[in-house]
């Protein structure tokens, strides 16, 4: 049997740590067990303790202080250090066989959209440590309501998908912050994807060349199947349950794999 690993990715402030906590809390409620692996060397305390914490290996502050690097350079240094000390991660993960591990990743998306360091770690987890992995990529709903921002967010998610080569789930977080009718209508386009609607939304711009570029990007995003997003409202267990069921599906988590009490059947309805 393999163990499941869920990489939680997305820009700073997208709601990654809150999502990790919501999943753990939901899983506990339904009698399942999961652990958070903190891969952010600059993380702050969250609701649930980290079972495994990169800061036990290396911390961003120490690197900045000792090597006189800036925050981004230090972060890359920390990940390269982790890459060179994978036996530490292997040892930490050793006790957690047949379990669900949620990897809270840093918000500096270049770690998985531009440079191959996180993808290399993911490959090690898959090939050497027998993990069934999936990536979740969070974008803030209030941010992507503007079509051009939606495309830039979708392209960053696509870049992570291509680099990581993992089953990939896009999530629009903080949908409870979408309150006015116009924004709710726009949000629906992203949750119930229809490429024609997506192309229509590029008509907002008056410059024909910009419009042509937007259409090309919209087609590219559509071709990669990147238009689909699942809605997340961290405090709403139904939305967390739906996302968890997608994660179970793509990682092929089997009921029989549960280490503790059997999972109760939950009603999962689309939002
Ligand atoms: N309204 C609302 N706020 C949320 C939701 N999810 C997260 N937040 C808030 O968004 C802020 C950022 O959330 P975090 O979970 O720290 O985001 P993060 O992606 O882990 O941030 P970094 O660690 O900086 O990358 C916090 O103030 C959360 O309370 C949500 O579903 N709804």
Q: Does residue 32 sit within a domain?
A: yes
Identify the domain containing residue 76 by its residue range.
3-183+226-256
Q: Kindly state if the Cβ of 17 falls inside 6 Å of ligand 1.
A: yes
Residue 130: CATH number of its domain: 3.40.50.300
Average pLDDT, the chain: 84
CB proximity list for 239: less than 8 A, separation 6 or greater: 175, 230, 231, 232, 233, 271
Please report whether residue 209 resides in a domain: no
pLDDT value at residue 257: 57
Q: Which region among 54-58, 69-73, 138-142, 208-212 has the lowest average model confidence (pLDDT)?
A: 208-212
195 within some domain: no
Residue 177 lies in a domain: yes
pLDDT for the residue 239: 94
Complex-level ipTM? 0.97
**Domain total of the chain:** 1
Ligand 1 centroid – CA 218 distance (Å)? 28
9 lines ligand 1 (CB under 6 A): no
Whether 206 maps to a domain, the answer reads: no
- Give the mean pLDDT of 70-89: 93
Report whether residue 45 contacts ligand 1, using a CB cutoff of 6 Å: no
Mean pLDDT, residues 130-154 taken together = 88
pLDDT of residue 262: 41
Is the Cβ atom of 251 under 6 angstroms away from ligand 1?
no
DSSP H helical segments within the chain, as ranges?
16-29, 60-67, 71-84, 86-93, 110-113, 117-127, 141-144, 147-164, 181-191, 195-201, 208-223, 237-251
Q: How confident is the model at residue 133 (pLDDT cuts 50, 70, 90)?
A: very high
Residue 164: inside a domain, yes or no? Answer: yes
Total-model pTM = 0.88
In a domain, 153, yes or no: yes
Does 46 contact ligand 1 (Cβ within 6 A)? no
For the cut 60, the answer to whether the pLDDT of residue 230 exceeds it is yes
Report the atom number in ligand 1 closest to the C-alpha of 235. Answer: 31
136 within domain boundaries = yes
């Amino acid at each position: 049997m393999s163990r499941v690993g869920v990489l939680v990715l997305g820009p700073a402030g997208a709601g990654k740590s809150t999502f990790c906590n919501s999943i753990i809390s939901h899983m506990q409620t339904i009698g399942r067990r999961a652990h958070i692996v903190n891969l952010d060397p600059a993380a702050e305390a969250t609701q649930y303790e980290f079972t495994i914490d990169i800061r036990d290996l290396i911390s961003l502050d120490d690197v900045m202080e000792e090597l006189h690097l800036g925050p981004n350079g230090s972060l890359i240094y920390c990940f390269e250090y982790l890459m060179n000390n994978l036996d530490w991660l292997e040892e930490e993960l050793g006790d957690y066989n047949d379990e669900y591990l949620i990897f809270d990743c840093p918000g500096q998306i270049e770690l998985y959209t531009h440079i191959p360091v996180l993808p290399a770690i993911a490959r090690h987890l898959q090939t050497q440590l027998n993990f069934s992995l999936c990536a979740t990529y969070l974008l803030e709903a209030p941010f992507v309501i503007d079509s051009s921002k939606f495309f830039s967010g979708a392209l960053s998610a696509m870049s992570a998908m291509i680099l990581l080569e993992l089953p990939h789930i896009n999530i629009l977080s903080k949908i409870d912050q979408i309150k006015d009718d116009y924004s709710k209508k726009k949000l629906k386009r992203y949750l119930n994807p229809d490429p024609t609607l997506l192309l229509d939304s590029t008509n907002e711009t008056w410059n024909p060349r910009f419009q042509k570029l937007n259409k090309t990007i919209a087609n590219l995003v559509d071709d990669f199947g990147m238009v689909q997003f699942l809605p997340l409202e961290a405090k709403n267990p139904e939305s967390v349950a739906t996302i968890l069921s997608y994660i179970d599906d793509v990682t092929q988590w089997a009921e029989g794999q549960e280490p503790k009490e059997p999972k109760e059947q939950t009603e999962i309805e689309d939002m």
